Amino acid sequence: MRKTCVFVFARGGSKGLPRKNLLPIRGLPLVAHSIRMAQLLGDTEGIYVSTDCREIASIALAAGAEVIERPAELASDTAPEWLAWQHAIRWVEARRGSFDCFLSLPPTAPCRSVADVRRCLDALAPNIDLVLTMTPSHRSPWFNMVIERSDGCLDLVNAGNRIVRRQDSPTCFDITTAAYAAHPAFIMKSSGIWDGKIRGVEIPPERAIDIDTPADFAIARFLKEQYLPDSIETKEA
């Protein structure tokens, strides 16, 4: 059986939405929602929260996760989270030994379902380096995504590759942060996601919300409390 370790990466700082990983929905801080999702999956080797924040660490321990103390240089606004992924893998391997599957459940995606996460894990084949979640894009770079030129006028993002009929344009997806599943060896030898062979698992927009702003949080809270059924968090989902 494949050994899976679940990771929750939760910095204490956030400029767009201060203390966002601690904001409550249904009485639980966002970081605790990720831990609960990991617990509902079952069959995991461990649940680890990488953080630089004592308050987040305390919540993580109370919720049943182990805490990885993230160095300050890996917790700044400019530090790539990929480096925190590598640090967390080294920390676990030094204390628990090697494992087969790395699963990241960001706190900013509380509307995901157990089924969404399991589909990511199932899609991580030996010939695939990393699986991420995605949702159909509301905007197409061939029709309604533009850039502003230096003269103030607009142009299409794909101005040099014009398609005149919408039905001829490729289907586009937005990357979501519901889940990332990867082989630890790929993460350790690479400098970023796009160094490898990547597969996407499609999830519906209502489960793909990624919290970065107060408006995002308000939408996620409404979806979680008023719209999405409790069953998305059950083991039978």
Hey, what domains does the chain have and what are their CATH numbers? Answer: 4-135+173-233 (3.90.550.10), 138-171 (no CATH)
Q: Can you tell me the distance from the alpha carbon of 30 to that of 110, in angstroms, rounded to the nearest whole number?
A: 7
Cβ–Cβ under 8 Å, residues 30 and 36: no
Mean pLDDT of 5-29: 91
User: What is the percentage of the chain residues whose pLDDT exceeds 90?
Assistant: 75
Structure tokens at 61: 């321990």
**Where does the pLDDT of residue 234 fall: very low under 50, low under 70, confident under 90, or very high at 90 and above?**
low
- For the entire predicted model, the pTM comes to 0.91
- pLDDT digits over 116-154, tens only? 999 999 999 999 999 999 999 988 877 778 889 899 998
State the chain's mean pLDDT as an integer: 91
**pLDDT at position 236, please?**
42
Residue 219 has pLDDT above 60, yes or no: yes
**pLDDT at position 18, please?**
84
Mean pLDDT of 161-178: 80
**What phi and psi values does residue 146 have, to the nearest 5 degrees?**
-125, 165
Residue 237 has pLDDT above 50, yes or no: no
**pLDDT at position 159, please?**
74
Q: With CA atoms as reference, report the closest residue to 102 among 168, 173, 47.
A: 47
**pLDDT at position 211, please?**
95
**pLDDT at position 166, please?**
67
Which residue has tokens 């995504």?
145
**pLDDT at position 43, please?**
86
Residue 158 has pLDDT above 90, yes or no: no
User: What is the percentage of the chain residues whose pLDDT exceeds 70?
Assistant: 93
Mean pLDDT of 49-65: 97
**What phi and psi values does residue 214 have, to the nearest 5 degrees?**
-55, -35
Cβ-based neighbours of 224, under 8 Å, separated by 6 or more: 25, 26, 110, 111
**pLDDT at position 59, please?**
97
**pLDDT at position 164, please?**
64
